[in-house]
Amino acid sequence: MTSLPIIQSAATAGRRPAMPPRHLADLDVSGREDALVALGEPRFRARQLSTHYFGRLVRDPDAMTDLPAATRAKIADDLLPRLLTPVREMATDDGATRKALWRLHDGSLVESVLMGYPDRVTVCISSQAGCGMACPFCATGQAGLTRNLSTAEIVDQAVYLAGVAASGAIAGSPSRLSHIVFMGMGEPLANYNRVLAAVRRLTSPAPEGLGLSQRHITISTVGLVPAMRKLADEDLQVTLALSLHAPDDDLRDELVPVNQRWKVAEVLDAAWHYADRTGRRVSVEYAMIKDVNDQPWRADLLGRLLAGRLAHVNLIPLNPTPGSKWDASAKPVEREFVRRLRAAGVSTTVRDTRGREIDGACGQLAASEVPT
């Protein structure tokens, strides 16, 4: 077995990465009040500004007519700096799936995906520019980590796309953003504090935050065990998704290199700890890769590991990525895998893959400025 790099952190990459300017969404309510007082404004302006940004999804200072005209621009410059510059938006599924490519203040590129369904609107957001986890079947993992996103860079992806949904852009879907999945670029638990602050902003009621239900937020991880255990103790009701992809250490060491540090048994223990503490069912993600992890014996082994646990398996047909030698499993093989898991008493579904045509599906986000 080859030894693959485990974690490439920004700190070991040499130069200290340039974080963006501070933004309203980085601050809690009292931090916002302090910032306005520092600008010579009354504290109550914090609530006015927050109502525009989080409550009405308005970011243009000219539209903030309840702020004095003379200080609007100064307030917006200080607290609503532009963090995400749209570079390109691509749509598919008759407009129900939209991928947004953003340029950050330092030139880094990240992507987010908006998905409309009849009963809900989901945004898939990025937590890092690039990713250091090096999973060989994932396009994001191939380029390595550039840097962590700030709390506001994470939140602003959701607020911006909530505005797109609110404009009625997705026909046949509700206009209100309801669900967020941390399944875009990056490993959310490797940027723990900022991701947690972002979750608090996204779930605090308006005008403090976006007012989403904690249960409608999913954090997906490769399995950083100490961070999973810490998350379990945060007293949150968010859904944890674990990217397992193999039930045995031999194969998982290769598919998810962080497994060389935390083995399948440890990562599942941490998942069950999360389920115990929160009462939430853990979602186990498993990309179906032809002749790699889709054998009947692996389905049976996975079934034995998960039977009787508060878990749900999401099989993801492997999405194509540039230069990958792997293919998705054949449909009959996938069906047999599902059958064996269900026979073991494990609730299992196959994920409806959105956005393949625009490289917006799981594992395809690679933030290239040139359309591929």
Scanning residues 122 to 161, which ones bind ligand SAH (CB under 6 A)? 131, 133, 135, 137-138
Contacting residue, 239, 321, 329, 348, with ligand SAH by CB under 6 A: 321
Minimum distance, C-beta of residue 333 to ligand SAH, in the bound complex (Å) = 16
363 is a contact residue toward ligand SAH (CB under 6 A): yes
The reply to whether 362 belongs to the active site is yes
Number of residues that bind ligand SAH (CB under 6 A): 19
> Please, which residue, 15 or 325, has the CB nearer to ligand SAH?
325
Q: Tell me the window of 12-20, 153-161, 217-225, 267-275 that interacts with ligand SAH (CB under 6 A).
A: 217-225
316 is a contact residue toward ligand SAH (CB under 6 A): yes
Is 244 labelled as part of a ligand binding site?
Answer: yes
Cα–Cα distance measured from residue 35 to residue 306, given in angstroms and rounded to the nearest whole number: 49
Is 9 labelled as part of a ligand binding site?
Answer: no
The reply to whether 124 belongs to the active site is no
> Please, which residue, 282 or 318, has the CB nearer to ligand SAH?
318
Minimum distance, C-beta of residue 343 to ligand SAH, in the bound complex (Å) = 24
Contacting residue, 220, 239, 278, 329, with ligand SAH by CB under 6 A: 220
Q: Which two three-digit tokens encode residue 212?
A: 């989403």
Q: Which two three-digit tokens encode residue 29?
A: 């309510």
> Please, which residue, 321 or 329, has the CB nearer to ligand SAH?
321
Contacting residue, 285, 306, 329, 341, with ligand SAH by CB under 6 A: 285
Catalytic residue chosen out of the listed positions 33, 41, 111, 254: 111
Minimum distance, C-beta of residue 126 to ligand SAH, in the bound complex (Å) = 9
Q: What is the 3-state secondary structure (H, E, C) of the chain?
A: CCCCCCCCCCCCCCCCCCCCCCCHHHCCHHHHHHHHHHCCCCCCHHHHHHHHHHHCCCCCHHHCCCCCHHHHHHHHHHHCCCCCEEEEEEEEHHHCEEEEEEECCCCCEEEEEEEECCCCEEEECCCEEECCCCCCCCHHHHHCEEEECCHHHHHHHHHHHHHHHHCCCCCCCCCCCCEEEECCCCCHHHHHHHHHHHHHHHHCCCCCCCCCCHHHEEEEECCCHHHHHHHHCCCCCCEEEEECCCCCHHHHHHHCHHHHCCCHHHHHHHHHHHHHHHCCCEEEEEEEECCCCCCHHHHHHHHHHHCCCCEEEEEEECCCCCCCCCCECCHHHHHHHHHHHHHCCCEEEECCCCCHHHCCCCCCCCCCCCCC
Minimum distance, C-beta of residue 316 to ligand SAH, in the bound complex (Å) = 4
Which residue, among 150, 70, 138, has the nearest Cα to 285 in the 3D structure? 138
Minimum distance, C-beta of residue 217 to ligand SAH, in the bound complex (Å) = 13
> Please, which residue, 152 or 328, has the CB nearer to ligand SAH?
328
Is 243 labelled as part of a ligand binding site?
Answer: yes
> Please, which residue, 148 or 220, has the CB nearer to ligand SAH?
220
* Distance, C-alpha 39 to centroid of its chain: 34
Minimum distance, C-beta of residue 219 to ligand SAH, in the bound complex (Å) = 8
Paired strand residues for 130: 145
Cα–Cα distance measured from residue 270 to residue 266, given in angstroms and rounded to the nearest whole number: 6
Q: Tell me the window of 6-14, 67-75, 318-326, 337-345 that interacts with ligand SAH (CB under 6 A).
A: 318-326
Which residue, among 117, 140, 289, 109, has the nearest Cα to 216 in the 3D structure? 117
> Please, which residue, 151 or 293, has the CB nearer to ligand SAH?
293
Is 216 labelled as part of a ligand binding site?
Answer: no
Residue numbers in the known binding site for S-adenosyl-L-methionine are 186-187, 220, 243-245, 319
Return residues touching ligand SAH (CB under 6 A): 131, 133, 135, 137-138, 183, 187, 220-222, 243, 285, 287, 316, 318-319, 321, 362-363
Residues noted as catalytic: 111, 362
Residue numbers in the known binding site for [4Fe-4S] cluster are 131, 135, 138
